[in-house]
Amino acid sequence: MYAEIDFTTIDTSQEPPQEEPARQYYFIAKCRQHVKHLEEKLGRRPTFFTQTFGCQMNARDSEKLTGILQAAGYEKASSEEADFVIYNTCTVRENANQRVYGRLGYLHSLKKRNPHMQIALCGCMMQEAHVVEKLQKSYFFVDLIFGTHNLYKFAELLDTTLESDRMVVDVWEKEHTIVEDLPCDRKYSFKSGVNIMFGCNNFCSYCIVPYVRGRERSRSPEAISEEIRQLVQNGVREVMLLGQNVNSYGKDLLPPVSFARLLEELQKIPNLARIRFMTSHPKDLSPELIQVMAKYPKICRHLHLPLQSGSSRILQKMNRRYDKEDYLALTEKIREAVPDISLTTDIIVGFPGETEEDFLETLDVVERVGYDTAFTFLYSRRTGTPAAAMPEQIPEDVAKDRFDRLLALVQEKGRARSGRFMGSIQEVLVEEKNAAKEGWLTGRMSQNLLVHFPGSAALIGELLPVRLTKCKGFYYIGEQVKCHYHQ
Ligand code: 5AD
Ligand code: SF4
């Protein structure tokens, strides 16, 4: 177990072990020596800063990076004015890439003032050859570049970087087997993301994820269950199971295990109060999963079910493998089985060839399903994906106009829908002090809706009954219900 490792007992004068995770423990021990030397030189603890772009998977990966940096002896800084800065990048849309290039200029100016500063870049954007070429050519001040497949060997890469004055680049084209039991730092003490699988096999025609995250690999149910049991022992009440397509979890395992079965197992874990998961692909959402969601109250009443488009013609070009009718029928089945569920979605507008009629089909689905929230995106052309080569790319002004109309409808529907719990008492997991109002807290309902209510910070991490007294569109105002458990 990682928690029981004593790094001072690892003999770094020996050759590193070949097996994982022992090899990474060895390099953490070596990094600790480098960081110690740096500390003596600087006369203070060296600091680090991690910045995450993109999705929940990246956020979870950053917790792993943070865990290693802390194990190596660095202290967390609150800004990029630090001795080691790492950006965990996203490339799902072009604007994510632009933000990274923009921020690198700022990092360069900081590095000129702090000669000990080191800059590292990792994540999805680094899996693209043209990005790495550009960085090597024009961003010589970057010290370390690695990708998504070798994140598990960050300790080893950090050691190489600390010993080298040249840019270290290590990006793998293919995925590696999953390495368990590495250090990890959690942002919240009472909730945590848990990877259940990595990669994606779907190749939606607009999406770069399968190229940068590799093929689907599931963790074993035992490893997942063990991690969650440990988390619960350390005070976690809610877990979010993470995967690009959780509904195809376990198909690659021997023997195969379904996602529904995994949920059934996990909900047995004592003292675990809530289970969330993300993201579901409609084509793989099984009737068993719907039954399991309906049966077990620990499984949160929230389903994120990306629609992408309401037009069957466009869905086919997107290679989504369901049509408008399939999607509508699926949401009806879910609503029937779990009436209080909150449905959210992702929608892309301006996919190549999208006509006004196609777009109206999307509006029609939004009208009919009644999402609590929808994340709306302008189609972004990603080099190397089939859609990038499709004719009839949509002019920006047309796409932007559709985007605005979609957003207006999504907001109108969301506002109308979220009021449905007004007056009821809901169980809320208290997450943090309210940023805007002194003496108030912010918590989350099973449906993923936020509730603000008066209360003391000592309640953070607790599950409480809260009466919803006012609906403010996308969130509620409430008051704690005093019962004999919570006085
Ligand atoms: N352009 C715009 N949005 C995209 N997404 C994925 N690829 C693209 C792209 N090329 C969106 C999808 C996905 C979400 C995570 O990002 O809606 O569900
Ligand atoms: Fe991308 Fe489709 Fe895989 Fe989601 S399911 S990551 S949209 S390819």
Say whether pLDDT at 427 is over 90.
Answer: yes
Contact 321, 308 (CB under 8 A): no
Query: From the CA of 138, how far away is ligand 2's center (Å)?
Result: 31
Q: Indicate the pLDDT class of residue 485, thresholds 50, 70 and 90.
A: low
Distance, in Å, from the CA atom of 114 to the CA atom of 80, rounded to the nearest integer, reads 11
Q: Indicate the pLDDT class of residue 418, thresholds 50, 70 and 90.
A: confident
Pocket test for ligand 1, best of 55, 57, 93, 314 (most atoms within 8 A of CB): 93
The ligand 1 atom nearest the CA atom of 385: 10
Distance, in Å, from the CA atom of 122 to the CA atom of 397, rounded to the nearest integer, reads 33
Mean pLDDT of 460-468: 97
Say whether pLDDT at 222 is over 80.
Answer: yes
DSSP strands (E only) in 305-359:
342-349
In the chain, % of residues over pLDDT 70 = 98
User: Worst-scoring range by mean pLDDT, 145-154, 379-388, 423-432, 477-486?
Assistant: 477-486
Task: Mention every residue, 6+ apart, whose C-beta is less than 8 A from residue 96.
Answer: 53, 54, 89, 90, 125
276 against 175, higher pLDDT:
276
Query: From the CA of 199, how far away is ligand 2's center (Å)?
Result: 9
Q: Indicate the pLDDT class of residue 487, thresholds 50, 70 and 90.
A: very low
Nearest to 200 by CA among 244, 168, 158, 239: 244
Element (H, E) at 463: strand 463-471
Handedness of CA 134, 318, 412, 395 (dihedral sign): positive
Query: From the CA of 97, how far away is ligand 1's center (Å)?
Result: 14
Query: From the CA of 306, how far away is ligand 2's center (Å)?
Result: 9
- The vertex-188 CA angle with 263 and 244, nearest 5°, equals 45
Strand order across the beta sheet in which 168-170 lies:
75-76, 47-52, 84-89, 118-123, 144-146, 168-170
Query: From the CA of 346, how far away is ligand 1's center (Å)?
Result: 8
Mean pLDDT of 123-137: 96
Say whether pLDDT at 110 is over 80.
Answer: yes
Q: Which two tokens stand for residue 443?
A: 């918590």
Distance, in Å, from the CA atom of 387 to the CA atom of 402, rounded to the nearest integer, reads 19
Say whether pLDDT at 482 is over 90.
Answer: no
The DSSP symbol for 286 reads -
| Ligand 1 neighbours by CB, cut-off 6 Å | 92-93, 206-207, 306, 308, 346, 348, 377, 379-380, 382
Question: What dihedral angle (degrees, nearest 10) is formed by the CA atoms of 385, 386, 391, 393?
Answer: -40
Give the closest ligand to the alpha carbon of residue 54. 1
Distance, in Å, from the CA atom of 138 to the CA atom of 126, rounded to the nearest integer, reads 15
Give the closest ligand to the alpha carbon of residue 352. 1
pLDDT in tens, 260-284: 999 999 999 999 999 999 999 999 9
487 against 126, higher pLDDT:
126
Pocket test for ligand 2, best of 58, 206, 207, 320 (most atoms within 8 A of CB): 207
Q: Indicate the pLDDT class of residue 419, thresholds 50, 70 and 90.
A: confident
Pocket test for ligand 2, best of 90, 204, 375 (most atoms within 8 A of CB): 204
Distance, in Å, from the CA atom of 183 to the CA atom of 272, rounded to the nearest integer, reads 22
pLDDT in tens, 49-105: 999 999 999 999 999 999 999 999 999 999 999 999 999 999 999 999 999 999 999
Give the closest ligand to the alpha carbon of residue 246. 2
Looking at residue 483, its pLDDT comes to 66
Say whether pLDDT at 254 is over 80.
Answer: yes
Looking at residue 484, its pLDDT comes to 54
Residue nearest to atom 9 of ligand 1 (CA): 380
Distance, in Å, from the CA atom of 430 to the CA atom of 215, rounded to the nearest integer, reads 37
pLDDT in tens, 320-366: 999 999 999 999 999 999 999 999 999 999 999 999 999 999 999 99
CA distances from 19 to 161, 198, 305 (A): 21, 21, 39
| N-to-C CA span, the chain | 39
Give how far the C-alpha of residue 43 lies from the chain's centroid of Cα atoms, to the nearest Å.
37
The mean pLDDT value of the chain amounts to: 95
Distance, in Å, from the CA atom of 352 to the CA atom of 98, rounded to the nearest integer, reads 22
